[in-house]
Amino acid sequence: MHKFALFTAGLIALLLAGYLSYLHYVKARSLLQAWADANDYKILHARRNSLLMPLGMYFSTSKYQVVYHVAVYDASVKRIRSAWVRLGTYWTGSMDGDAIQVTWEHEG
DSSP the chain: -HHHHHHHHHHHHHHHHHHHHHHHHHHHHHHHHHHHHHTTEEEEEEEE-SSSS-HHHHTT--TT-EEEEEEEEETTTTEEEEEEEEES-TTT----TT-EEEEESS--
Q: What are 56-107's pLDDT values in tens digits?
A: 888 888 888 899 999 999 999 999 999 999 998 888 777 776 789 999 998 7
pTM: 0.81
